[in-house]
Amino acid sequence: MTVARYSITSFLKEFVKHLDNGNYLIVKRPKTQDTLSRLGINIKILLQELATLTIENYSSGPDPNDAFDGYVMVFGKIICGQEIYIKIANTDQTGVTRMAVCISFHDADYPITYPYK
C-alpha cells in the first residue's frame, strides 16, 4: 500500500507544531536512552532531529498504536553516521490535548526502506 505524500507531510506538520508548542513526550525506553547517551544527543538535539524529519525519511505507517490513541509512523535518519529507527505518533494520551510522541529512537535493527527517497 502506498501512502499519499500529503498524508505524510500533514502528519509531520502536526508533529512539528506539537514540538514547537512544547506538547511532546519522549518515551524513555532503554534502547532509546542508550542510543541518545552513546551518540551524545541531549533533548534539544533530539527535538531538532525530530523536527527536521521529511518525507524522504519516511519508511512505513500509518500503523495502529496500541499504547496511545491514533497511529504511528516509522522514519529513519542517518545521525552521527548511524541509521536511526524513529517511531513517532501524534496522539491524544491525556484525553484533553494532542501531542507529539517519540516512541522509539535507536539504531536500526535492520536496513530501513525509504519509499520516497
Distance CA 108, CA 93 (A): 26
Give 83's strand partners: 78
- The pLDDT confidence band at residue 91, using thresholds 50, 70 and 90, is confident
- 95-111 pLDDT, tens digit per residue, is 556 889 999 999 999 99
- Counting DSSP H helices and E strands in the chain, the numbers are 3, 5
Q: Is the pTM of this model over 0.75?
A: yes
Give 79's strand partners: 82
3-state secondary structure string, 21-48? CCCEEECCCHHHHHHHHHHCCCHHHHHH
The CATH number for 5-107, chosen from 3.30.420.40, 3.30.2310.40, 3.30.450.20, 3.30.565.10, is 3.30.2310.40
- 54-85 pLDDT, tens digit per residue, is 999 999 998 887 776 678 899 999 999 999 99
Domain limits of the chain?
5-107
Distance CA 101, CA 24 (A): 6
User: CB count, 10 Å around CB of 12?
Assistant: 22
Task: Please say whether the beta carbons of 18 and 94 come within 8 A.
Answer: no
